[in-house]
Amino acid sequence: MSRPLYRQIYERMREDILAGRLSHGDRLPSIRQMTRDSGVSRTTVETAYEQLCADGLVNCVPQSGYYVNQLPRRRERVHTAEPQPQKPRYDFSGKYLDPTSFDFDIWRRLSRAVMQDSASFLGYGDCQGEYELRRQIARYLSAGRGVYASAENVVIGAGIQTLLSILCEMFDKSGRRIAFEDPGFQKGLRIFRDHNYEIVSVPGGASGIDIRALYESGANMLYISPSHSFPSGATLPLDKRLKLLEWAQSTGDGILFEDDYDGELRYTGKPLATLSSLDANGQVIYLGTFSKLLPPSIRISYAVLPDVLVPEYLRIAQRYNQTSSTMEQLTMARFIEEGRLEKQVRRLRRIYGRKNEAITRALDRQFGALATVRPNDTGLHLNVSLRISERADSLCARAEEHGLRIIPLSSYRTEGAESETADLYLSCAGIAEKDIEPAIRLLRELCS
Amino acid sequence: MSRPLYRQIYERMREDILAGRLSHGDRLPSIRQMTRDSGVSRTTVETAYEQLCADGLVNCVPQSGYYVNQLPRRRERVHTAEPQPQKPRYDFSGKYLDPTSFDFDIWRRLSRAVMQDSASFLGYGDCQGEYELRRQIARYLSAGRGVYASAENVVIGAGIQTLLSILCEMFDKSGRRIAFEDPGFQKGLRIFRDHNYEIVSVPGGASGIDIRALYESGANMLYISPSHSFPSGATLPLDKRLKLLEWAQSTGDGILFEDDYDGELRYTGKPLATLSSLDANGQVIYLGTFSKLLPPSIRISYAVLPDVLVPEYLRIAQRYNQTSSTMEQLTMARFIEEGRLEKQVRRLRRIYGRKNEAITRALDRQFGALATVRPNDTGLHLNVSLRISERADSLCARAEEHGLRIIPLSSYRTEGAESETADLYLSCAGIAEKDIEPAIRLLRELCS
């Protein structure tokens, strides 16, 4: 189909205006003149000019003619060049996955297979998540995490934040006060704040949450990662877990958000019982993610709700469209079904266990007694406290300039408590094994 | 790797408990007996039993033995069968895309190509959206919608709701009151309500927003779809658009959210200037989506911010992880780059123009003077008012039982105003052309 004549005239004039060949205040050729020059009908030219007026590019001044308008400011903007990717040489931020940690070929093969069935992709997707994936997650969790659920208890979204923003709407906010550990998971806290929850901080840190402070806080919700506290690294022992459940019961309708973001990645010893597996009263909402096991660009997180909360979730979730890509959800379902996820967890456990040891050794070699490292038996990150005179945030800013990305622990603090040491958060997910030694050596050089 | 012995014992016992072969109060074989029976070491058995305790499956009673705990209720749950897909025979809801409207092969080819480059998928993705896609969207909008922006103005998320939930945090909510048309886009309104905005309703409907009521409402934000009001179908003429911009200026720092969800799909006449193209003061946030042009399971929507709002957006967006799949974003970038999106728009314009005509004709044939239809020159849906005695919601509920899905207009109302007619919303996106006549005939039969 060729474009209609009026459209050709309209587009040529518009280009002249946008390119600056016609500028503010210029008069367009009169309709009569344009009709003569172009050999088209008067109506065609009028239609083109009306369209330019409708676009706001041109003004019609009665009895005088058509004049080019002042263009909105942003049209003058120069298109800038592609921003340089800011990937540093050495990355301990945990925002990237080291490419050797994941076999993309398997993922490609599975997504190709999944995409053959076009019929699965015609709608917005189940607001609770694709049934097939929920079923696989339920199976995976019963086998690996002692979380016993069926597909009906599982809900899926593109990241924990999206899930939280729906979960937030399930409760009467005015009667709720939620406790977060400090330092804690700021990206989660943010969602509760956006949704107008009252938030309190409870001391956390290396020794785990202060339960007496939790009681005193008056909170009736708690967000916590008992397997591996984020970012401070504590693992809660069983007796403290049971005390948390006791606390939830003592509040009546208290809710524990158990964020098990890297619970699979325990290197030594036995995995500990999740709060969810200990919960007999339907007070634990279990949160999990694949962002720590697979490349995080695959946006799938999940929550497991106790039976009593499922109907209310479904009522609320109708109001929100699913955010996670159906294609990725169905690929993930196959990935679990074929046993690939369990293999990937074992693979990462080996790699990360080795890397965490290498980081610990390198810190020891370079810093000796100046560094205290903890823990190295679980998860993707460890924390180090350096007894140096510089503050952690200033050290990390200087390191960034030298291509070394490390996050100061203070950036996860709700209240800006000062520390006597420079406390750093080091994730092993993104750094290649061979880079660990030179990266820590560089850190050492920057400290002297 | 074979599983350690303790693990084998642990898993066998756990299965016995979960399957109900051992139940609440049952005593496990003593450690001594188990050691003898299984021929493994005492430590191995102890480790397995400790793990069962840690899982909360078993209690250790000192001096007596190990007893099976009461299982949390949800473990007793029977895994239910896969829910039957609820896709009706005739679907006017617009929640699905008719498979003949999209060429999946092209999408498959492009995603395969994109996935070859593993390096793009290692991180969480740019919180603003992939640069490549933002650039292509900016180009597409300048060519097709008269929205002049560069990649820096474009932000991407998995659906309009996710974008709104970030945009909501850019403004001081306590000083904001946002107006929505009634009937209006409830899924958008919901997000502002979640984020504690004050919301006012302004009469909209077939004749377009009531501008006097807008002034009187005291609002300083407005959410509107001028190209094709959702769901009432009005198209705002240019003079009303200019009045909206005047209103925004009169409020000082007023913001217009222009949701152009199906602005591309105008069948006859000329596309009208978007508010964004007319805005010289940086007060319009333009919102667009691919959910109406491509299968909606592809979760990509975008906003175009005026220059003045970009820095604040970036500051806020750091707090949220990207929700849209990197793979789908990069595939979409190629899709636009190859000119596929423009072809798809032309294709849908033809198909939907034809379908909307067929729906109008069928309604006319079946209902005659009992039906008033409007409009049929734009967009994916039309509205019909039936002069019958039954209420729209009860009619639609009965239709659903007969495999005919139609949405009552009242489900988009903020305040439950009564109508004298049964007002229905009919989208042509999901219904096959050949099904239109029988579907409308079925509707007619249900009305008599």
Q: Does B434 touch chain A (CB under 8 A)?
A: no
Peptide bond into B231 cis (omega under 30): yes
- Strand partners for A174: none
A333 neighbors A133 (Cβ within 8 angstroms)? yes
The pLDDT score that the predictor gives to residue A76 is 39
The pLDDT score that the predictor gives to residue A135 is 94
What residues of chain B lie within 8 A of the CB of A194, using their CB? 165, 168-169, 194-195
The pLDDT score that the predictor gives to residue B78 is 41
- Which of A146-150, A151-155, A337-341, A352-356 is predicted with the least confidence, judged by mean pLDDT? A146-150
Q: For residues B189-198, b (16+ Cβ closer than 10 Å) or e, as one string?
A: bbbbbbbebe
The pLDDT score that the predictor gives to residue A268 is 64
With CB atoms and an 8 Å threshold, state whether A324 touches B299.
yes
Average pLDDT over residues A283-291: 95
Tell me the average pLDDT of chain A: 88
Q: What is the pLDDT of residues B195-231, one digit of tens each?
A: 999 999 998 877 789 999 999 999 999 999 988 887 8
Q: Does B238 touch chain A (CB under 8 A)?
A: yes
Does the pLDDT of residue A85 top 80, yes or no?
A: no
The pLDDT score that the predictor gives to residue A17 is 80
Three-state secondary structure call for residue B29: coil
* Nearest CB to B150; choose among A80, A153, A430: A80
Q: Which pLDDT band, with edges at 50, 70 and 90, does A302 fall under?
A: very high
**Least Cα separation, residue A75 to chain B (angstroms):** 6
pTM: 0.83
Q: Does B331 touch chain A (CB under 8 A)?
A: no
B336 neighbors B137 (Cβ within 8 angstroms)? yes
What is the spatial distance between Cα A442 and Cα A436, in angstroms, rounded to a whole number?
10
**Least Cα separation, residue B50 to chain A (angstroms):** 10
Query: Using alpha carbons only, how large is chain A's radius of gyration in Å?
Result: 29
What is the spatial distance between Cα A199 and Cα A269, in angstroms, rounded to a whole number?
35
Side-chain-side CA neighbours of residue B285 (13 Å): 23
Average pLDDT over residues A13-30: 80
Q: Give chain A's end-to-end CA distance (angstroms, integer).
A: 71
With CB atoms and an 8 Å threshold, state whether A187 touches B115.
no
With CB atoms and an 8 Å threshold, state whether A80 touches B151.
yes
Residues near B189 by beta carbon (within 8 Å), at least 6 away in sequence: B180, B199, B223, B414
Does the pLDDT of residue A75 top 50, yes or no?
A: no
* Nearest CB to B320; choose among A118, A161, A322: A161
Owner of token pair 């500051």: B315
Q: Which pLDDT band, with edges at 50, 70 and 90, does A416 fall under?
A: low
DSSP state of B128: T
Three-state secondary structure call for residue A198: strand
**Least Cα separation, residue B83 to chain A (angstroms):** 8
With CB atoms and an 8 Å threshold, state whether A325 touches B279.
no
The pLDDT score that the predictor gives to residue B269 is 60
Q: What is the pLDDT of residues A115-139, one digit of tens each?
A: 998 888 999 999 999 999 999 999 9
Q: Which of B270, B294, B298 has the highest number of chain A CBs within 10 A, making it the mutation to test binding with A?
A: B270
Residue of chain B nearest A195, judged by CA positions: B195
Low-confidence ranges of chain B (pLDDT < 50): 1, 73-82, 84
The pLDDT score that the predictor gives to residue A387 is 94
The two three-digit tokens of residue A270, written as one number:
């036995």
A306 neighbors B84 (Cβ within 8 angstroms)? no
The pLDDT score that the predictor gives to residue B2 is 56
- Which of A149-163, A235-249, A268-282, B329-343 is predicted with the least confidence, judged by mean pLDDT? A268-282
With CB atoms and an 8 Å threshold, state whether A97 touches B122.
yes
What residues of chain A lie within 8 A of the CB of B56, using their CB? 146, 273, 277-278
- Measuring CA to CA, which residue among B117, B146, B115, B150 is closest to residue B131? B150
Average pLDDT over residues A171-181: 94
The pLDDT score that the predictor gives to residue A74 is 43
The pLDDT score that the predictor gives to residue B75 is 43
Q: Does A162 touch chain B (CB under 8 A)?
A: yes
The pLDDT score that the predictor gives to residue B210 is 92
- Strand partners for A182: A203
Q: What is the pLDDT of residues A216-254, one digit of tens each?
A: 999 999 999 988 887 877 788 888 898 999 999 999 999
The two three-digit tokens of residue A5, written as one number:
């004549």
Q: What is the pLDDT of residues B417-435, one digit of tens each?
A: 667 889 999 999 999 999 9
Axis-axis angle for helices B326-337, A326-337 (nearest 10): 130
B383 neighbors B423 (Cβ within 8 angstroms)? yes
A107 burial class (0-12, 13-18, 19+ CB within 10 angstroms)?
A: buried
The pLDDT score that the predictor gives to residue B277 is 85
Q: How many CB pairs under 8 A join A and B?
A: 254
**Least Cα separation, residue A369 to chain B (angstroms):** 34
The pLDDT score that the predictor gives to residue B385 is 92
Does the pLDDT of residue A267 top 70, yes or no?
A: no
Average pLDDT over residues A366-376: 87
Owner of token pair 């990197």: B326
What residues of chain A lie within 8 A of the CB of B238, using their CB? 53-54
Q: How far is CA B260 from the centre of its chain?
A: 15
What residues of chain A lie within 8 A of the CB of B282, using their CB? 73-74
- Which of A192-201, A205-214, A337-346 is predicted with the least confidence, judged by mean pLDDT? A205-214
